[in-house]
């Protein structure tokens, strides 16, 4: 155990590195599973899914109807509900009946807005869960959420069914039929056809892991998470179907509510697997978090002051030299710290009136005041005062004269060391340096 956790992954290569990473990943994933947070978020997503399922299908049905492929929704829904057995077929038919009875044209403006809001809220809840996994503490702006989410909701189904239709068309061509009768190519094509559903599921998970989190996710980690989630989802589907086929007691216990209970369980398992795959993608991209104990991302006072000054100098230098403004992603890559603490300090500097966030996508950061008039002493004082309010302030502490004199001396020493230097002075020194 000591060798497993004390080895530095950056210094390991070859088979030893792969084995240690894999064992650490399994250990950490088991810890996350039993930690409870992912389970709670999966339960929350089940509740949101129940509210959004029919509106989501209605929006997709309306879009696909314009392309003449709306009849393909039912087979896809049947495939998702297949683990529920015969009850799944009945439930799919009822859902399709509900969707067909939804007349978007007679909903009115308010009804259409509520329909779209219900659908968007589901994707927003998914983003919030993914952001927790990726340790990002902020959602996209409202405009970004609305445009990005609707793009996926409206265009995504069209692309999925277009890909499925193209696959079916290619499979029926004379050339492909000729190749099928040639061995061993025919056997390989048949094997590929059997594996295609699993590939599509893994590709769908990979796309979600890259698009939904409000941070940059690389293709490799997203693909690793997508493959793991795809395998788990297919395996859980087989296990769930076998459980239903071998057990008839649930119908006797729950009677007419049995299908609802089974649907809730299956939705919970599906969301939990999706979040577990996202967690795998996170640890593959950031193996430094594969530690025996959970990593606490709390900045010390010293690190918070250093980070605030570091961020302000970088942003001020880019602004002074007319370079492209700094983004959160660029700052995180330059500094080498996780997203969450860097974003917290940026928010702190915004609230203190030193920074302003642009409306770009992704947003960038600019000095809110002339950098020549931002004194370093004022900047550090604002960082040190962060978090104080009328409940937590110096006035609420019983004063001890010796402590007061000591802290006053510290404040005076800081002011004397900075000597009225401005942020521009530091940015100029940075640009003039090596």
Rounded Cα gap, residues 427 and 432, in angstroms: 9
Asked if the structure places residue 226 within a domain, the reply is: yes
Rounded Cα gap, residues 264 and 215, in angstroms: 30
Output the pLDDT for position 386: 83
Name which of 152, 154, 189 is nearest 171 in CA terms: 189
Rounded Cα gap, residues 348 and 196, in angstroms: 49
Range of the domain at 11: 2-289
Rounded Cα gap, residues 249 and 257, in angstroms: 13
pTM of the model: 0.74
Q: What does the angle CA 315 – CA 320 – CA 321 come to, to the nearest 5 degrees? A: 105
Q: Which of 289, 319, 341 is the last residue of a domain?
A: 289
Whether 261 and 184 map to the same domain: the answer is yes
Whether 154 and 53 map to the same domain: the answer is yes
Asked if the structure places residue 103 within a domain, the reply is: yes
Whether 268 and 307 map to the same domain: the answer is no
Whether 250 and 333 map to the same domain: the answer is no
Output the pLDDT for position 312: 92
Output the pLDDT for position 150: 67
Q: Which of 262, 289, 316 is the last residue of a domain?
A: 289
Q: Residue 287 burial (CB < 10 Å; 0-12/13-18/19+)?
A: middle
The predicted-structure confidence for 79-105, as pLDDT tens digits, reads as follows 777 777 777 777 777 777 766 666 655
CB neighbourhood size of 147 (10 A):
12
Rounded Cα gap, residues 372 and 28, in angstroms: 48
Rounded Cα gap, residues 248 and 242, in angstroms: 12
> Are 115 and 107 in contact, with CB atoms under 8 Å apart?
yes
Whether 391 and 251 map to the same domain: the answer is no
Whether 305 and 416 map to the same domain: the answer is yes
Asked if the structure places residue 182 within a domain, the reply is: yes
Rounded Cα gap, residues 312 and 346, in angstroms: 9
Domain of 349: which CATH number? Answer: 1.10.10.10
Asked if the structure places residue 152 within a domain, the reply is: yes
Q: Which of 289, 314, 339 is the last residue of a domain?
A: 289
Rounded Cα gap, residues 152 and 211, in angstroms: 9
> Are 119 and 55 in contact, with CB atoms under 8 Å apart?
yes
Output the pLDDT for position 103: 61
Whether 68 and 172 map to the same domain: the answer is yes
Rounded Cα gap, residues 123 and 153, in angstroms: 9
Whether 128 and 223 map to the same domain: the answer is yes
Going from the C-alpha of 335 to that of each of 56, 97, 300, 330, the distances in angstroms are 41, 54, 16, 9
Residue ranges for the chain with pLDDT beneath 50: 170
Output the pLDDT for position 51: 79
Asked if the structure places residue 275 within a domain, the reply is: yes
> Are 240 and 250 in contact, with CB atoms under 8 Å apart?
no
Asked if the structure places residue 295 within a domain, the reply is: no
Sheet holding 355-357, edge to edge: 326-327, 364-367, 355-357
Number of structural domains the chain divides into: 2
Whether 11 and 143 map to the same domain: the answer is yes
Output the pLDDT for position 391: 77
Output the pLDDT for position 314: 92
Rounded Cα gap, residues 90 and 97, in angstroms: 11
């Amino acid at each position: 155990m000591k060798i497993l956790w004390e080895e530095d992954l950056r210094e390991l290569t070859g088979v030893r590195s792969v084995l240690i990473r894999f064992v650490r990943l399994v250990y950490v994933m088991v810890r996350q599973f039993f930690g409870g947070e992912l389970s709670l978020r999966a339960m929350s997503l089940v509740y949101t899914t129940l509210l959004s399922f029919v509106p989501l299908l209605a929006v997709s049905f309306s879009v696909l109807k314009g392309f003449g492929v709306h009849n393909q929704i039912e087979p896809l829904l049947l495939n998702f509900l297949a683990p529920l057995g015969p009850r799944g077929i009945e439930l799919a038919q009822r859902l399709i009946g509900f969707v067909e009875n939804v007349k978007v044209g007679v909903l009115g403006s308010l009804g259409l807005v509520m329909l779209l809001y219900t659908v968007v809220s589901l994707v927003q809840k998914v983003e919030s869960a993914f952001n927790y996994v990726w340790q990002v503490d902020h959602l996209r702006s409202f405009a970004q959420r609305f445009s990005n989410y609707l793009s996926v909701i409206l265009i995504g189904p069209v692309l999925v069914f277009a890909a499925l239709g193209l696959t079916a068309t290619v499979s029926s061509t004379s050339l492909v039929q000729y190749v099928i009768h040639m061995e061993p190519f025919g056997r390989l094509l048949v094997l590929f056809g059997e594996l295609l559903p699993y590939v599509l599921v893994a590709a769908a998970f990979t796309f979600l892991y890259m698009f939904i989190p409000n941070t940059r996710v690389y293709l490799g980690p997203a693909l690793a998470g997508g493959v793991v989630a795809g395998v788990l989802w297919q395996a859980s589907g087989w296990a769930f179907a076998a459980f239903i086929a071998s057990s008839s007691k649930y119908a006797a216990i729950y009677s007419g509510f049995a299908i609802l209970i089974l649907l809730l369980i299956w939705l919970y398992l599906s969301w939990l697997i999706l979040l577990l795959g996202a967690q795998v993608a996170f640890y593959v991209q950031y193996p430094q978090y594969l530690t025996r104990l959970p990593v606490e991302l709390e900045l010390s006072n010293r690190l918070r002051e250093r980070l605030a000054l570091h961020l302000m100098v970088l942003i001020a230098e880019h602004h002074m030299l007319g370079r492209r403004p700094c983004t959160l992603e660029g700052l995180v890559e330059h500094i080498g710290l996780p997203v969450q603490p860097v974003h917290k300090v940026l928010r702190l500097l915004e609230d203190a009136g030193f920074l302003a966030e642009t409306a770009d996508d992704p947003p960038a950061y600019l000095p809110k005041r002339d950098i020549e008039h931002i004194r370093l002493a004022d900047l550090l004082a604002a960082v040190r005062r962060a978090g104080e309010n009328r409940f937590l302030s110096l006035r609420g502490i019983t004063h001890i004269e010796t402590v007061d004199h000591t802290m006053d001396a510290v404040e005076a020493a800081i002011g004397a060391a900075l000597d009225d230097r401005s942020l521009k002075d530091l940015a100029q020194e940075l640009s003039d340096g090596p």
